[in-house]
Amino acid sequence: MTLLRSVLFNAWFFGITTVLSVIGAASVAVAPASALPIARLWARLVLAGLRPLCGIRWEVRGREHLLPEGPLLIASRHQSAFDTMVWLLLLPRCTYVLKQELTRIPLFGRMFRPAGQIVLDRSGGTTALRALARDASAAAKAGGQIVIFPEGTRAAPDQLLPLQPGIAAIAIRTGLPVTPVVTDSGRLWGRRAFRKRPGVIHVTVLPPLAPPAGGAGARDDFMRRLAEALETDPERCG
């Protein structure tokens, strides 16, 4: 049964993605502002299939730590594709920090920049880090809610990868508090896993951390506190 439900969901996922990629690529060519609404529709439709097709529900705790409007900086665990969709539904102006390679996806990749997403060249070293901080500052000034996965890639549910320096650079440049988020989405929707297991995905928003004041010592202390927060068990919160 799990295999059959996974087949149906994957067909739903790729079908919705293909159709909206074609529509989106054509739409943003004449109306760039349509990119974010189309991305939000994509996320809504894909995640709407989780419960009836896979038996997966998801719940969010700690919503009081999410501002209803204005700039926000979220540092989230990243375990599955679910994490790259859910914030499009939870935030009015979601701005993901995403790797440059994703912009090369046919049709779909054309929508990221018009949708206001921040593209990071992970091979660019210090130059890329400065560009990331600059772009994030511009997004924050425009009222965007920035979502970054500080581990840099998807990880197993029981594994916290070393945090990358981009989150500290953004926090220092924007002066925004950093809101840690933990999730256990990988238990049910694993990395590159075809099968989706029934259950509940927990997304827990934790109290924000003050940004580092600057200097190596302050950055190191901030990264330590952020890592401690991201090791919180999302199922036992709230």
Give residue 38's domain range.
2-236
Cβ pair 226, 150 in contact under 8 A: yes
Structure confidence at residue 100 (pLDDT): 87
Q: How far apart are CA 203 and CA 56, in angstroms?
A: 13
Residue 53 and residue 188 in contact, taking contact as beta carbons nearer than 8 Å: no
The whole-model pTM stands at 0.92
pLDDT digit string (tens) for the chain, length 238 residues: 788 999 999 999 999 999 999 999 999 888 999 999 999 999 999 999 999 999 999 999 999 999 878 899 999 999 999 999 999 999 999 999 998 888 888 878 888 988 889 999 888 788 999 999 999 999 999 999 999 999 999 999 889 999 999 999 999 999 999 999 999 999 999 888 889 999 999 999 999 999 998 777 889 999 999 999 999 887 665 5
C-alpha 224/C-alpha 107 separation (Å) is: 39
pLDDT of residue 1: 76
Q: Which one-letter amino acid corresponds to residue 158?
A: D
* Residue-by-residue DSSP string for the chain: -HHHHHHHHHHHHHHHHHHHHHHHHHHHHH-GGGHHHHHHHHHHHHHHTIIIII-EEEEEE-GGGS-SSS-EEEEE---STTHHHHHHHH-TTEEEEEEGGGGGSTTGGGGTTTTTPEEE-TTSHHHHHHHHHHHHHHHHHTT-EEEE-TTSS---TT--PPPPTHHHHHHHHH---EEEEEE-GGGTS-TT-S----EEEEEEEPPPBPPP-SSHHHHHHHHHHHHHHHTS-GGG--
Amino acid at 22: V
Q: What is the chain's Cα-based Rg?
A: 18
Tokens of residue 71, six digits: 């700039």
**The domain spanning residue 101 has which CATH number?**
3.40.1130.10
Of 155, 138, 103, 133, the closest CA to residue 211 belongs to 133
Domain count, the chain: 1
Q: Is residue 185 within 8 Å of residue 178, measured between CB atoms?
A: no
